[in-house]
Amino acid sequence: MRFSAFAMLSPGGKAKREIDTKLAALAAKPLAHRGLHGPDGPLENTIAAFDSAIAAGFGIELDVQLTAEAGAVVFHDATLDRTAEGSGPVVGYSMSSLSRMKLRGTDENISPLQDVLHHIGGRVPLLIEAKAGDNSPVALALAIRRALEGYNGPVGVMSFNPAVSRWYHDHFPKFLNGLVVSEEPDVVGAPWRGSGPARLLTMRHSRAKFLAYDVRSLPSRAAARYRGVGRRVFTWTVRSDADVERAAAHADQMIVEGAAAQSLAAKQGSGPDPT
């Protein structure tokens, strides 16, 4: 019965082959967490960080927040204070206001998701994390989908909130929808606390085609079973050589930053120093 719940996540026939092909392209290379950034490099979630990731041979993972008029901007935190020259909730500002707002210590402004997508242009695999929390997950999922109209390239959307993944499954079943997972007590917003059956129900409800699993929670029986029915498991955030080894053993691809990104970039023989 427990295995059957996982097996239900996997379609058969032509649909499965199409999804498998898309997942393979999405997992083709390590992804730079919020772009390739660091204290002596670009700021996270900036065009400069995304360019550095591409130059170093990585894919890109980025974060998206909802604006006041239900648009999508590339930004990690729910509030502006840490990385932008503004304060308060991102969702309290319009797209036009945010796109004129400088990011701290840079010449860049906060970017609309559509502008970033145009810049990346399908050159590398792209993972978009919808920072939904409990705040209008469907509105954010829809905003991201609208921005993605006409985008060509390997791309998936993921979130801690299973409602985001479920929305994509219900409305765009061929799209790559994912669930972000952590079993660690310090992670806020993870819907994976409690018993094993509760976790299974969350996964089943999300109908996710891939998982993005906290590297600290690996190895995991849930992740292993998910891979066992032909789905992909990404893992985050891989920062050390030990993390890289764990990711290689228990996941299909890794989301990297810091020393791990620097080491992988050096092995790939290209790109700037990511730190």
Parallel/antiparallel/unpaired status of strands 59-66 and 126-130: parallel
pLDDT for res 274: 40
Q: Do 233 and 251 meet the contact criterion of CB atoms below 8 Å apart?
A: yes
Please report, for the chain, the start and end positions of each structural domain, with discontinuous segments joined by +.
2-268
CATH level 3 topology of 2-268:
TIM Barrel (3.20.20)
Q: 21 or 272, which is more confident?
A: 21
Q: Dump pLDDT digits (tens) for 63-75.
A: 999 999 999 999 9
Q: Dump pLDDT digits (tens) for 43-99.
A: 999 999 999 999 999 999 999 999 999 999 999 999 999 999 999 999 999 999 999
The pTM is what?
Answer: 0.93
Q: Do 135 and 91 meet the contact criterion of CB atoms below 8 Å apart?
A: yes
Q: What does pLDDT average to over the chain? A: 92
pLDDT reading at 12 higher than 80: no
Cα 44 to Cα 38: distance, rounded to the nearest angstrom: 7
Q: CA separation (Å) from 61 to 13, 19, 116, 219? A: 30, 20, 12, 22
Q: Dump pLDDT digits (tens) for 151-188.
A: 999 999 999 999 999 999 999 999 999 999 998 888 87
pLDDT reading at 2 higher than 60: no
